[in-house]
Structure 1
Amino acid sequence: MIYYLSRDYKSNRINDAGSKARLDVEQVMDQLGFSPAGKRHSITKNRLFHFVRTIAIVVRMLLYVNKGDVLILQYPTKYYSIICRLAHMRGANVITLLHDLICFRNKHSSPQEEICQLNKSDAIIGHNPAFCKWLCDNGFVGYNGKKIIEPLRIFDFLSSSQSPDRKKTWPLHKVVYAGQLARRKNNFLYELGTYVEGYTLNVYGKGFDKSSAECPEKFEIKGFMLPDKLIESAEGDFGLVWDGDSVDSCSGDWGEYLKVNTPHKISLYIRCGLPVIVWREAAMAGFIEENGVGICIDSLRDIKKIYECLTRDEYEQMCDNVRRVSGLMSEGGYFSRAISKVVSRVTDLK
């Protein structure tokens, strides 16, 4: 049997990108016929209830998982090491889908400490090839040295909403930037207005102080919008993926993480029907180019050249490619492919 461990979600985080990605994975696993090891996910407002339900989920797992079964975990998760140990005591294999690395996000652990935890899993599904290489370079070997690792490539994004036909937006004149807009991660936005020429920037989210930005007239603040609504109504020609302080590169810790990370924002843009503009050194640059779903740049100053040089035929071809990839993502195609490969490799070793 193939089981997955569901979780209790905090109600104030249910619309976060991380929760959306996890809930989508759970839905795809249901579609694939996998079973929750206990109850399906729950949503809690009270912190004490959240703690109690989280403990109950772990304990209940022991009633389901047996020798030869597969247990799928989504990481980070509370009590990860304990869950892996208990599953192995029951004779089950553990497959872990990685959403984030704590050592990049908040420095609460070192890469060595985090790899030590992940080595308790029989197999890993990482974001992309660069992500998987980083894991191996930093010591990932897996439980009993199995070293099974597979790239997800991109996060699926389930929604019944349909994006508009972007090919009808020609001539082009708007770039979309969406997400959590805290200045510590998006400081470049406050400088970007100086270099915006020939287009405007539509900003979706909370926390951007337009009055403190250079050339504030270059920005249109759209506010926070739930993903389903954004897919249907995002106004723009491209979706921008960029982090850090500088317009000339994705600098600092956020830039380093972008070299291995697959931002969930890319999936959202593609489901919105938007070709993506991404930093050339980002891990996802290869996926963007290989699939023809956007343009890679060295500096945000280069966006002006895109608007000057891109032909209508080139843009329409990108839109067609985006629609193809979006269709696969809307069906859970990327996770389905990755988990099928990993389950096969894990069970073949038995």
Structure 2
Amino acid sequence: MRYYLKDSFLHNQHEKNAGSKARNDVEAILISEGYKGLEIKVNNWYQMNFFKAQQHKYSATKSVFDQLGLGDELVIQFPIIHHTFLIAQLIKQAQKRGAKFYLLIHDIETLRHAAGSEVKLRHKLRNYFQEKKAMMSVDGIIVHNDIMKGVLANQGFPVDKMVSLEIFDYLIPNFQEKSLPQKEQAIIVAGNLNPTKSGYLYSLPENHAYNLYGVGYDESRALNNITYFGAFMPDDLPAALEGSFGLVWDGDSSETCQGTYGNYLRFNNSHKASLYLAAGFPLVVWKQSALSHFVLENGCGIAVESLHDLKDTIDNLSDTDYQDLVDNAKRVGEEIRDGHYLKIALTHLK
């Protein structure tokens, strides 16, 4: 039997930041492919001390894994929300009974901090026990892209266990196609607009307009070329977007992507890229990002080294060039809205 771990946040106080959207879409696609949910049931372990919380989460996870036997498969969205340091041990116990385990990666903290930022010892230990040991123990892993696959292979993870997703899917209930975007319109920025993650928004070049959607934006520091539209629920956001391109950029600089969040784009697939494409907008991505390979190979956007190069790059596009980008974005977006990329990746798991 094919199962997925139904692993939900105890509290989701930030529904408009799309924190659960990617996980919810994965769950919906798995259900459509015939997977059944095995729910991990926990009490509020945030109110427990460290050792009691670990014991509680271990028992809750074990009660799920104990249901698995010969021929059963379990897909786990990773990182696990109700994480336990002994996850690898529990996986190995179930594997001895003939069960198989697969991880679908959303984030890898060791890669997020790969640029050498200071990481406390307890976080390094947590990453080792809850990331590396878990990833080494499973039968297969769906990673974001071939860049991430290569980095993990260099860290000792077997290449033949890894499958590239290429890009995240983004389901849109009751999708209605909008009027075609125009090259002269503003650049769209959606998602977490907090200065810690998106500090570049407060030092943008003045030669292009930007439309912002999301939480955490400091309106007191708004530039003259920015229009802030507020925050929306993830399923409502695509219909609200207006502009020419969707921007995938992180860090505190408009010159390049840098810092913890900016450098993470070298390895990961930003979920906001899927939002833009699903809504029918071509992308602007950092030339050194992992996503740039997908974007350029599929002709669904442009890649730049710096946002200071953006206006000239767009101005140099002919109307036909831009229309081709829009057409390709619509083609890829239709696949993203259908769950195409996860469905294909699942078929390649061994």
Q: Deviations over 1:86-136 (max 9, x none)?
A: 422432111111110122446422776633331011111100000111111
Alpha-carbon distance in 2 for matches of 1:276, 1:25: 22
Residue 217, structure 1, aligned to residue 224, structure 2? yes
> What's the offset of the Cα at 1:187?
1.3
8 A Cα contact 1:18 1:99, kept in partner: no
8 A Cα contact 2:17 2:215, kept in partner: no
Identity in percent: 32
Alpha-carbon distance in 1 for matches of 2:301, 2:78: 29
List gaps (5 residues or longer) in structure 1. 346-350
> What's the offset of the Cα at 1:8?
2.5
Residue 6, structure 1, aligned to residue 9, structure 2? no
> What's the offset of the Cα at 1:285?
0.2
Q: Deviations over 1:287-316 (max 9, x none)?
A: 001111100001101111133222221111
Residue 317, structure 1, aligned to residue 329, structure 2? no
Note the 1:51-66 alignment, pairs <5 A.
58-62=61-65, 64-66=67-69
What is the alpha-carbon root mean square deviation over aligned residues? 2.6
Q: Which moved more, 1:58-67 or 1:277-286?
A: 58-67
User: Residue 336 of structure 1 aligns with which residue?
Assistant: 343
Alpha-carbon distance in 2 for matches of 1:306, 1:162: 31
Alpha-carbon distance in 1 for matches of 2:43, 2:230: 26
Distance 1:171 1:102, change over 3 A: closer
Distance 1:44 1:196, change over 3 A: farther
Distance 1:13 1:191, change over 3 A: closer
User: Residue 166 of structure 2 aligns with which residue?
Assistant: 153
SS at structure 2 position matched to 1:205: strand
Alpha-carbon distance in 1 for matches of 2:256, 2:12: 35
User: Residue 245 of structure 2 aligns with which residue?
Assistant: 238
What is the one-letter code of the residue matched to 1:172? E
TM-score by length of 1: 0.86
Distance 1:190 1:16, change over 3 A: closer
User: Residue 24 of structure 1 aligns with which residue?
Assistant: 25
8 A Cα contact 1:210 1:219, kept in partner: no
User: Residue 284 of structure 1 aligns with which residue?
Assistant: 291
SS at structure 1 position matched to 2:137: coil
User: Residue 211 of structure 2 aligns with which residue?
Assistant: 202
Distance 1:59 1:48, change over 3 A: farther
> What's the offset of the Cα at 1:45?
8.8
> What's the offset of the Cα at 1:203?
0.8
Distance 1:264 1:170, change over 3 A: closer
8 A Cα contact 2:5 2:76, kept in partner: yes
Residue 186, structure 1, aligned to residue 198, structure 2? yes
SS at structure 2 position matched to 1:3: strand
SS at structure 2 position matched to 1:243: coil
Distance 1:57 1:330, change over 3 A: farther
> Aligned to 2:78, which of 65, 75, 87?
75
8 A Cα contact 2:65 2:90, kept in partner: no
8 A Cα contact 1:248 1:300, kept in partner: yes
Note the 1:127-142 alignment, pairs <5 A.
127-141=144-158
User: Residue 348 of structure 1 aligns with which residue?
Assistant: none
Distance 1:279 1:233, change over 3 A: same
TM-score by length of 2: 0.86
Q: Deviations over 1:131-150 (max 9, x none)?
A: 11111111113xxxx84111
Which segments of structure 1 move beyond 4 Å, counting only runs of 4 or more?
13-16, 41-49, 51-57, 110-113
SS at structure 2 position matched to 1:228: coil
User: Residue 84 of structure 1 aligns with which residue?
Assistant: 91
User: Residue 109 of structure 1 aligns with which residue?
Assistant: 124
> What's the offset of the Cα at 1:212?
2.5
Distance 1:210 1:306, change over 3 A: farther
Alpha-carbon distance in 2 for matches of 1:30, 1:335: 12
Alpha-carbon distance in 1 for matches of 2:220, 2:17: 26
8 A Cα contact 2:183 2:322, kept in partner: no
Alpha-carbon distance in 1 for matches of 2:316, 2:149: 35
8 A Cα contact 1:271 1:326, kept in partner: yes
Alpha-carbon distance in 1 for matches of 2:165, 2:236: 26
